Amino acid sequence: MEPKAADERNPPARHAARPPAGRDRYFDTLRALALIRVVAYHTFGWAWAGLVFPSMGIMFALAGTLMAKSLERPALSVVRGRLRRLLPPFWFWGVFVVAAMLVHGWMPGREIVFWIVPLGDPPGNAWGEQAWEILWYLRTYLWFVLLSPLLLRVFRLAPLPVLALSLAPVLVLQFVWAGPDGRAGSALWDLATYLFCWLAGFAHRDGVLRRLRPAAVVPAALAALAFGGWYAFSHQAAHGTYDLDEDPLAQAFWSAGAVLLLMWAKAYFRVDFAGLTRYRRLDRTVTVFNARAVTIYLWHEIALVVAVPLIDRFWDVPALAAHLPLDSQWFLFGVGWVLIALSVLLCGWVEDLAARRKPRLLP
């Protein structure tokens, strides 16, 4: 009888506005901001964007937290479930990208297998490069998922030493051995760059960060940020920019410092952003971003590519050319988000199917 009474105290309309059980609005908000920053970076090309908000490191840390939570169940079923939720949206998106490249003269070889399981960078031609170059994230995420049962065991043997030593691989690759060439080398570099972030997710889930005092965490995080920032700016000549995306070592340390602060603050101060539910539209937006995160990430580059010729057509309409800032990158950003929203409506249902939910236009 108690469950029924609880339902009576929470009318359906009010209950529907709440986040799904088990969701953390702090993490959901970070993921939404990370996706917005990714789209902004690919629109404007701001070199400083990663310094302000290291989106990819944050996304790996959030994924690591969820993976550690999931591994309370049998590892094989968890890995299988992660693959089931990731691969169908990837395959659906890949059909369009591969078909477009075939039309533009691309002929695949045996390496097309990476369009089925992206354990390595999928092949393609220059025509589709802007669409598929973002797949490094899915490839790295997939490897972390496969390695997580082992990584979690090693982490729990000595959490803090393992977390600190997780920055060693990128130092070795930078100063001792550059790794193999080709796909294996690319995968190794990305794993080394974001290993700390993934393990920081483990540390948050296991309560390791919550037990740390500010005097231990803040200096370590600031030191990592300082080294990452110094390395990025002092090696601009080698990379042509201080953009963290062009410098794995700087990216690794800057992301480590930022993620450590964000994850520790969440645990230590028990931040939950529960008050976000008072702002229904904003809360709803965060919900959609998280339920359609894979769709947004996969389709955003295509949306930006399509936005350019679409805006070019606007110039042919005198009223639009006279009153709209058609040559502004901000206008491109806005049109891009309109097309991303359209992609969510048309393609997001694949994520529902992959998660074994009833398909919906919007979650």
Tokens 């070592």 -> residue = 249
Question: How far is the C-alpha of 177 from the C-alpha of 169, rounded, in Å?
Answer: 10
Q: Which residues of 345-361 are buried (b: 16+ CB within 10 A; e: fewer)?
A: eebbbbbbebeeeeeee
Q: Residue 184 and residue 282: Cα distance in Å, rounded? A: 41
Distance, CA of 280 to CA of 39 (rounded, Å): 24
Residue with tokens 């404007």: 44
Residue tagged 């290993």 (tokens): 195
pLDDT digit of tens for each residue in the chain (363 aa)?
334 433 333 444 333 344 454 578 999 999 999 999 999 999 999 999 999 999 999 999 999 999 999 999 999 999 999 999 999 999 999 999 999 999 999 998 899 999 999 999 999 998 888 899 999 999 999 999 999 999 999 999 999 999 999 999 999 999 999 999 999 999 999 999 999 999 999 999 999 999 999 999 999 999 999 999 999 999 999 999 999 999 999 999 999 999 999 999 999 999 988 888 889 999 999 999 999 999 999 999 999 999 999 999 999 999 999 999 999 999 999 999 999 999 999 999 999 999 999 999 988
* This prediction's pTM: 0.92
